[in-house]
Chain A
Amino acid sequence: MLKRYIFIRLLLAIPTLIIVTSLIFLLLHIAPGNPIDVLLAASRGSREIREVLIRQFGFDKPWHIQYFLWLYNIFTGNLGISLHGIPVISLIASRVWYTLELMLISQFISVFLAVMFGALAGYKRGSRLDKTLTFLALLGYSIPDFWLGLIFILIFSVTLGWFPVGAFSLGLSETTGITSIIEHLRYLIPPLTVLVIACTPYYFRLLRASIVEILDADYITTAKAKGAGEFIVIYKHALKNALVPLTTAVGTSLGLIFGGNYIIEVVFAWPGLGTLLVAAALARDYWVVMGVSFITVLLIIISSIMIDIVYAYINPKIRFGGAEY
């Protein structure tokens, strides 16, 4: 049952990928400017080179041919070559783990904190605790993460010296074992903190709102009447249902998660996919943009399948195949 569901979803992924990547390809080519002119303008190169380079890169072929060639190469694992000769695969490979690490860890922590505080605030609705938490959430939600990042660096890295300033020296020192893990954590914590502060409030408010709504529901009153303890009431009955909208919210932010957060990456010099994508887009490096988009969409599809499975686990009413159950 589950296996068939996953198989169908993966099969549907192929047309999704094709549609999304062809849209991106189209957008890239419609935008003014082309990579060769951008490349040569800075070096004031001569005209003959322009024609040669256009031929070498295959940009003289019609658009649909270029696209299908690219698609064909994908199936053989070749994501193309960037304007400067580096294979796109190695550009992405050197950065994708950093993006995944930062984003996934920050999402887990955000969801955990949101669930913990959201349930608490929802249960003790109206109390001073609830009011404080909601206010803090509003603060975290409103403060621009760019500014927060710079302030964090100023206070904790420059003045107090607890963390390194940004991650540009990540990987430079050769430490092993426990020391290297601690080192890595020191680089990870500043952007992680800022991301968590930026992300948690949104999930918190969502969860709190659903808890408040659910606690008024009949089945909760029934459980209480049955004599179930407070903790069981919140945890077993309310929370599971409250997680449904939260899961939806996480599902819809998958794009933001896997696209890499450009602002955070710039502020902390984090070697992730966001800076790669933006730099490539500005330089009109078509294959890099296509490659990063392809990987991002792939990750989104895989994680959205996983989220749907989590969804079904939380809410027994939603299963795959329906009637057979």
Chain B
Amino acid sequence: MKLSLKEFMKISMTLLLAYLIAGVPFLQLDTVKAQEQAIISFTCTVPTGYDKEYAAMLIIKDSLAKNGIEMNIVREDAGTFFAKVWGAETFRLTYEEGGFDADSYWWYWRPEDMLFFSSFTAKGFPPEGWNEWSYNNDYAADMLDAALRTYDINERRYYYHKFTEEFQRDPFFIPLYYFEVPKAARADIENYDPVLYTQNAFDWKVKGKTYDDYVTVRMAIPYTENYLDPLFGMTSSLCGYSCIAPVFPNLLKSKLQPDGTYTLVPDLAESYEISEDGLTITFHLRHNILWSDGEPFTAEDVKVTYEGMLDPASGVPALADLREIESIKTPDDYTVVFRLRKPHALILATLGGYCTAGIVPAHIFGKIPREQWRGYWTEPSQIVSLGAYKVVEFVPNTRYVLEANPNYWGGKPFVDRIEIVVIPETATAISALKKGEVDILVAEYAGPELLAELSSLEAAGIDMSFVLWPATTYLGFNLNHPILNNRYVRLAIANLIPIDTIINDVLKGRGRPANGPIYPGSWAYPSDIPPLAKYDPEKAMEYLRKAGYVRPPTLTMLVYIYLGVVLIVGIVVGFAIGFIVSRKRYKK
């Protein structure tokens, strides 16, 4: 058989094409392997808007697939996600039943203390606490409880350490990373802290201006919840932290210390004492403070506020954190005594910081039924407050404008006017910051778009230094799921996470691997415990074996045999074609 060069080329091309067409499905070796041998399969739900978490999940999905575990990622809007994960009827159900198998979100803190442990419970889900993963671990629960019952910081640190050890043995979520956010504020603004939002606005200063100058600072937020009161508005709402925090102070407040940690310092309370048995906390309030309508601030205001919050009829969500309060007494106008059922180390952080609420005037809220507290104030002119700032303008979903309170007991703030504007689109907000139309972008804007503009923003005079965010990103599991219930399965997954790739690619290096729920900026961070997530396939397989899942023999041999067969068939077909072609030519 003699072939010309042209014919040879044609035949080779045909061969190659046939080979590729036959072989293409098998180029995706990993997917084939996973689908053939997916010994474990589950769905991970990620809320929309959390793009870093979604990107991390994609990387984890690939890594799991290479090792026989199939994780399907589903994105749900935040409303649906929260309803499923938190709703009483749905949180125990698996994804197919209408709940979730695994979720990826943050576990976030207030920097002063282990505040989330106040309402989290590691044992089942009694009405008093929350536990969206249905974690049921007696030892962990005991350790968390012990950490609450003492006020000694070293003892508490010991118990949190024990908790983290147990958590790593039987995790309800895999802690992935702690991440950093850029400050994104004009460089001449001093003392702005992204973690505190506007809570410490009284301390803000602007370089180059004096107390006598009229100073305005404009801050951008991506959305707001339209609260005008400190009871409903404060608990975990962006509106609370950034719009009304300086208007409604509490007994204590957070302050960033020079060493980088946060502590609680006096605000409306000058000082406080804790009794020997830890069951009584006495606050001594500042004297001579007046509400904006001229009435004096007294202990009665504190009593009415907290008793109202403790009554479910008011509907204030902060009840969960205040549960241990048995009674509130006011022996005189400037002393408040909280009596607790058990020692509760977090009660101070609950009464301070801004995560719970602010004090409301007794002469207004004490006179209306508690069912009417929600939405009682809808106009700035109705508000009676005594913070460093007051709300002078409020356009729902659009902006809040705060002005310095001239009668503030701490003196006149440096910044006279704070305008908080809602800019939903990150790109628009970044443009506005660059051009100088806003001065600060809150941490919610942190993401790949902001990171990409790092150098151009710095060139425009914006301070883009990084701050560790008090949050732990995790991959959590619904422990009612029949497979994920087994802790070896969870530990196996924990050992199949390429955490370095995630931190480099998704966070661009701005983060570090996490070892548990507690973040490094907290005094309780157990720095000696290594991260839980790593890439160690051997260990993962060992855990899977312990869990009773054995990986079937790999398909690789079969795949090679298949490819070999295709090659031989291809060659035979090629020769056959060549033969027929040459016969045809011969016949001519």
A40 touches which of B84, B120, B317, B371 (Cβ 8 Å): B317
Which stretch of B23-31, B232-240, B402-410 is in the interface?
B232-240
- CB neighbours (8 Å) of A39 from chain B are 317
The smallest C-beta distance from A261 to any residue of chain B, in angstroms, reads 13
Q: Return B403 CB to nearest CB of chain A, in Å.
A: 13
Q: Using an 8 Å CB-CB cutoff, how does the interface string of A71-91 with B read, 1 for contact, 0 for none?
A: 000000000011011110011
Contact of A43 with B423 at beta-carbon distance under 8 Å, contacts A33-B82, A85-B378, A268-B428 already known:
no
**CB 8 Å contact bits of B369-391 with A (1 = contact, 0 = none):** 00100111010000000000000
One of B148-156, B430-438, B483-491, B511-519 contacting the partner: B430-438
Contact A279 B431 (CB under 8 A): no
Neighbouring A residues of B218 by C-beta, 8 Å: 169
Q: Which stretch in B85-93, B250-258, B339-347 binds the other chain? A: B85-93
Measured CB to CB, the nearest residue on chain B to A269 is B423
Among B313, B320, B371, contact of A45 (Cβ-Cβ < 8 Å): B320
Interface flags, A157-179, vs B, CB<8A=1, else 0: 11001001110110110000000
Chain B, residue nearest A267 (CB): B425
Given A52-B313, A283-B79, A86 and B435 contact (CB-CB distance below 8 Å): no
Which residue of A84, A94, A95 contacts B227 across the interface (Cβ within 8 Å)?
A: A84
Stretch among B168-176, B197-205, B392-400 lining the A interface: B392-400
Asked if residues A46 and B422 are in contact (CB atoms below 8 Å), the reply is no
Does B220 count as interface, using CB distance less than 8 angstroms? Answer: yes
A168 engages B396 (CB within 8 Å): no
Q: Which residues in B have their C-beta under 8 angstroms from that of A43?
A: 235-237, 317-318
B237, B376, B422: the one contacting A168 at CB < 8 Å is: B422
* B199-221 to A contact mask, C-beta < 8 Å, 1/0: 00000000000000000001010
Complexed CA–CA distance, A84 and B315 (Å): 12
A41 touches B378 (CB 8 A): no
Task: Name A32's contact: one of B84, B376, B395 (CB within 8 Å).
Answer: B84
Q: Are B319 and A46 in contact (CB under 8 A)?
A: yes
Q: CB-defined interface of B313-325 with A at 8 Å, one 1/0 digit per residue?
A: 1011111100100
User: Is the CB–CB distance between B317 and A86 below 8 Å?
Assistant: no
Residues from chain B with Cβ under 8 Å of A37 in the complex: 82-83, 86-87
Interface residue from A31, A45, A56, A266 paired with B317 (Cβ < 8 Å): A45
Whether A48 is near chain B, meaning CB under 8 Å from some CB there, is: yes
Task: Give A24 Cβ to nearest chain B Cβ, in Å.
Answer: 16
Q: Is A282 an interface residue (CB 8 A)?
A: yes
Indicate if the CB atoms of A94 and B396 lie closer than 8 Å.
yes
Binary CB contact string for chain B from 406 to 430 against chain A (1 if under 8 A, 0 otherwise):
0000000000000101111101100
Q: When the two chains form the complex, which single residue of A50, A85, A158, A172 contacts B431, counting CB atoms closer than 8 Å? A: A158
Contacts of B548 in A (CB 8 A): none
B298 at the interface (CB under 8 A from A): no
Interchain nearest-CB distance for B365 vs A (Å): 14
User: Distance (Å) between the CB of A216 and the closest chain B CB?
Assistant: 47
Residues of A within 8 A of B397 (CB): 91, 95, 271, 275-276, 279
Measured CB to CB, the closest approach of chain A to B267, in angstroms, equals 22
Distance between B184 CB and nearest chain A CB, rounded to angstroms:
15
Per-residue CB contact flags for chain A residues 31-66 toward chain B (1 = under 8 Å, else 0) read 111100111111111111111110010000000000
Q: Is A205 at the interface (CB under 8 A from chain B)?
A: no
B78 contacts partner chain A, Cβ-Cβ < 8 Å: yes
Residue of A nearest to B312 (CB): A48
A84 and B228 CA atoms in complex are apart in Å by 9
Q: Closest A-chain residue to B378, C-beta based?
A: A86
Q: Mark A261-275, 1 if CB is under 8 A from B, else 0.
A: 000011111010001
Residue of A nearest to B421 (CB): A168
Tell me the bound Cα distance from A41 to B130 in angstroms.
10
Contact assessment for A169 and B421 in the assembled complex, using a CB-CB cutoff below 8 Å: yes
Q: Total interface residues on B, using CB and 8 Å?
A: 65
Question: Chain A's interface: helix, strand, loop or mixed, by majority?
Answer: helix
Q: Does B98 count as interface, using CB distance less than 8 angstroms?
A: yes
Query: In the complex, are the beta carbons of B80 and A32 less than 8 A apart?
Result: yes
| B228: nearest chain-A partner, CB-CB | A85
A41: which B residues are within 8 A, CB to CB?
82-83, 85-86
What residues of chain B lie closer than 8 Å to A271, measured between beta carbons? 395, 397-398
B376-A165 in contact (CB<8A): no
Q: Is the CB of A269 within 8 A of B80?
A: no
B119 at the interface (CB under 8 A from A): yes
CB distance from A168 to the nearest CB of B (A): 4
Q: Are A150's CB and B427's CB within 8 A?
A: yes
Report the bound CA distance from A306 to B294 in whole Å: 55
* Contact of A56 with B374 at beta-carbon distance under 8 Å, contacts A91-B396, A269-B424 already known: yes
Pick the contact of B316 from A49, A150, A166 — CB < 8 Å? A49
Cα-based distance from A42 to B240 in the complex (angstroms): 12
Q: Which residues on the B side are within 8 Å of A153 (C-beta)? A: 427-428, 431
The residues in A between 63 and 117 inclusive whose CB is less than 8 angstroms from any CB of B are 81-82, 84-87, 90-91, 94-95
Mask of B80-115 contacts with A, CB within 8 angstroms, 1/0:
101111111000000000100000000000000000
Taking the closest CB of chain A, its distance from the CB of B49, in whole angstroms, is 9
Question: Which of B84, B375, B425 is within 8 Å of A86, CB to CB?
Answer: B375
CB contact list, A128-172 vs B, under 8 A: 150, 153-154, 157-158, 161, 164-166, 168-169, 171-172
- Check: B127 CB closer than 8 A to any chain A CB: yes
Whether B77 is near chain A, meaning CB under 8 Å from some CB there, is yes
A282→B77 contact, CB < 8 A? yes
A284 located at the interface, meaning its Cβ lies under 8 Å from any Cβ of chain B in the complex: yes
B459 → A minimal CB distance (Å): 13
In the complex, the answer to whether B79 meets A90 with C-beta atoms within 8 Å is no
Q: Are A171 and B423 in contact (CB under 8 A)?
A: no
Residues of A near B78 (CB, < 8 A) are 38, 282
Least CB separation from A87: chain B residue: B378
How far is the CB of A172 from the nearest CB of chain B, in Å?
6
Q: Is the CB of A168 within 8 A of B83?
A: no
Q: Considering the chains assembled together, what is the distance between the CA atoms of A269 and B395 in angstroms?
A: 13
**B401 part of interface (Cβ distance < 8 Å):** yes
**CB of B270 within 8 A of chain A?**
no
> Chain A: which residue is nearest B234 at the CB level?
A43
In the complex, residue of chain A having the shortest beta-carbon distance to the beta carbon of B218 = A169
How far apart are B232's CB and chain A's nearest CB, in angstroms? 7
Chain A minimum-CB-distance residue to B427: A150
Q: How far is the CA of A265 from the CA of B398 in the complex (A)?
A: 12
Taking CB atoms, residues of chain B closer than 8 Å to A166 are: 423, 425, 428, 431-432
Decide if A53 touches B424 in the complex (CB within 8 Å): no
For the complex, give the distance between the alpha carbons of A313 and B316 in Å: 59
Which 6 A-B residue pairings sit nearest by Cβ, starting from the closest?
A85-B375, A45-B317, A33-B83, A41-B82, A43-B235, A41-B86
Given contacts A90-B378, A153-B427, A166-B425, 6 further A-B contacts (CB under 8 A): A33-B80, A45-B317, A52-B315, A86-B378, A168-B220, A271-B398
Q: Could you name 18 residue pairs across A and B whose Cβ atoms are closer than 8 Å?
A: A31-B80, A34-B83, A43-B235, A43-B237, A45-B317, A46-B119, A46-B127, A46-B319, A47-B88, A86-B378, A153-B431, A154-B431, A165-B431, A168-B220, A168-B398, A172-B419, A172-B421, A282-B77
Which positions in B face A, CB cutoff 8 Å?
Answer: 77-80, 82-88, 98, 116, 119-120, 127-130, 218, 220, 223, 225-229, 232, 235-237, 312-313, 315-320, 323, 371, 374-376, 378, 395-399, 401, 419, 421-425, 427-428, 431-432, 434-435, 437-438
